Amino acid sequence: MSDRKSPLAPLKNEFYRTIWVASISSNLGGLIQGVGAAWLMASISRSENMVALVQASNTLPIMLFSLLSGAVADSFDRRKVMLLSQFFMLTASVLLAVFAFLGQISPWSLLFFTFLIGSGTALNNPSWQASVGDMVPRSDLPAAVALNSMGFNITRSVGPALGGMIVAASGAAVAFLVNAFSYLPLAYALYRWRPEVPQTTLPREQLGAAISAGLRYVAMSPNILKVLFRSFVFGLTAVAILALLPVVARDMVAGGPLTYGILLGAFGAGAIAGALSSARLRELLSSEDIVRLSFAGFALSTAIIGVSGSAWLTGMALLLAGACWVLALSLFNTVVQLSTPRWVVGRALSLYQTATFGGMATGSWLWGHVAETNSVGHALLASALVMIVGVAIGFRLPMPPFASLDLDPLNHFNEPELRLDVKPRSGPIVVQIDYEIDDDDVQEFLSLMVERRRIRLRDGARNWALMRDLENPEVWTETYHTPTWVDYVRHNQRRTKADAETSDRLLALHRGASKPRVHRMIERQGIPPADDVFHQTHIEPH
């Protein structure tokens, strides 16, 4: 099998391999901590809802803070952001261990500390996932994303069982301390990594503007919106198993912390199998086929667990659930990355995480509430029914295909020489582009302009409009605004090679003797003298 198709090909990259191995240590500690927290909550509270809230407190920060973290990932050195997040989680884990050793942990303080650790994860994840595209070639990106899932689930196959043994032998406090030490190898690997930081002459976007740009890009990207919605539904329904598994282990199969760890290990083993088979499945099936199968398989697993009283049968169902889990989530992640250029990939991934973990946080509370008011079995069966709805959604909102667009920067824009002394913050800037279009080509032109409008707005333009000259109907004028000159330059530098197809087709329809004429103007506030208006706009009066 060629490297291109091998699921292990990204491991040939030294930087990726080093950080991937170090992340396994961190993930192992996180899973041990998760077992300790879940079982400690089950020990100090008889409320199924409080047990489910442990999962919610770990995922809620990702929903709340991921967009901000994505803007940070695209605006700052991702390596430094990841180092900061590791230090933050290390500190929170040490404090949790200290309070646990002192016997000062209450249900709400436990939720507080897991919320802090989840906040560190929210800061780390967009930078880590965006950095994968900086480490490996684009052709290896799907395999690298699947390897990330596989690495986590390798630890999931042994970490929970190990965590269960640690909790059973030494208590939850020791599990929390083990987690604190687990951050050190990844922090050291990140410290040694020296990625190539892209150079730019433009000033860094303010965080507010960067967040708005990320929201705008995703809002104007139909393929990404489909992924976000499907991932939210998957997280909402699939989390029922993970959120209620401590209660399943305790009550439905009459086990202890070791049983809980073994059941989580079965879920992780299934996920490893799913990660290893993902490349082959992508060759045989469409992305929508894989997502539908994942929804259906997870629904079947959840229903079996909801009626099972056998640890063996529950474990077998968890194998299938783990495979479906990693197939769906790694596919969602891959499609987002392949549909997003590098300048905004951190923010797109953060919105994907917001949708997925928002669904998980909501589902953790929802299914915990259903379990408390009815029973754990009823909650699992209800989530399985809702997951079947997720299969049906695919007929209306199918996943985009695996085909990868060329989203490298086009790099055709040269900043024009200006006769006015325009500063980077000068503005607003008004741009007009004149086209001459034959009557026979108007319908095709208008169709292309729909796509042009989407691209313009997606990349930061405002107030886009298309006008037709009443005296010369063959003349059409596209117009849009940007807040400042630097925003105009940034808008043009965001164009990708995939966008060039629309531009080339528009240029082919233009019938003028020269290329479409571009007017770049600065809008004046107030009422300046008439000659000053002429000087600023460079437009002849009609």
Q: Give the three-state DSSP class for 30.
A: helix
Q: Give the three-state DSSP class for 481.
A: strand
- Beta strands 475-482 and 462-468 are antiparallel
For the chain, what is the radius of gyration of the CA atoms? 27
Residue 200: CB partners within 8 Å, gap ≥ 6?
Answer: none
CA nearest neighbour of 88 among 61, 64, 62, 124:
124
- The pLDDT value given to residue 139: 73
Q: Give the three-state DSSP class for 242.
A: helix
Residue 191: CB partners within 8 Å, gap ≥ 6?
Answer: 83
- The pLDDT value given to residue 200: 67
Is 24 in contact with 175 (CB distance < 8 Å)? no
- The pLDDT value given to residue 538: 39
Interatomic CA distance for residues 54 and 111, integer angstroms: 6
What letter represents residue 82's amino acid? M
Is 292 in contact with 391 (CB distance < 8 Å)? yes
Q: Give the three-state DSSP class for 461.
A: coil
Angle ∠(227,232,238) on CA atoms, nearest 5: 120
Interatomic CA distance for residues 181 and 187, integer angstroms: 11
- The pLDDT value given to residue 3: 42
- Beta strands 475-482 and 517-522 are unpaired
Rounded to the nearest angstrom, the gap between the alpha carbon of residue 148 and the centroid of all alpha carbons in its chain is: 14
What letter represents residue 455's amino acid? I
Is 308 in contact with 384 (CB distance < 8 Å)? no
Residue-by-residue pLDDT tens, the chain, 542 positions:
344 456 677 888 778 888 888 888 888 888 888 888 888 888 888 777 787 788 778 777 877 888 888 888 888 888 889 999 999 999 999 999 999 999 888 889 999 999 999 899 888 888 888 888 778 777 777 778 778 777 776 776 677 778 878 888 888 889 999 999 999 998 988 888 877 766 666 777 888 888 899 899 999 998 899 999 999 999 999 999 988 888 898 888 878 777 887 888 888 888 888 888 887 888 888 889 999 999 999 999 999 999 988 889 999 999 999 999 989 998 898 888 888 888 888 889 889 888 888 888 889 889 988 998 888 999 999 999 999 999 999 898 898 876 666 777 777 888 888 888 888 888 899 999 999 999 999 999 999 999 999 999 999 999 999 999 999 999 999 999 999 999 999 998 888 888 888 999 999 999 988 889 999 999 876 655 555 444 344 333 33
Interatomic CA distance for residues 36 and 32, integer angstroms: 6
Q: Which helix (H) or strand (E) holds 522?
A: strand 517-522
Interatomic CA distance for residues 516 and 508, integer angstroms: 11
Q: Give the three-state DSSP class for 407.
A: coil
The strand pairing partners of 482, in sequence order, are: 429
Phi, psi of 415 (to 5 degrees): -60, 125
In the β-sheet with 429-436, what is the strand arrangement from edge to edge? 462-468, 475-482, 429-436, 517-522
Residue 408: CB partners within 8 Å, gap ≥ 6?
Answer: 341, 496, 497
Cis ω for the linkage preceding 222 (within 30 of 0): no
- The pLDDT value given to residue 197: 66
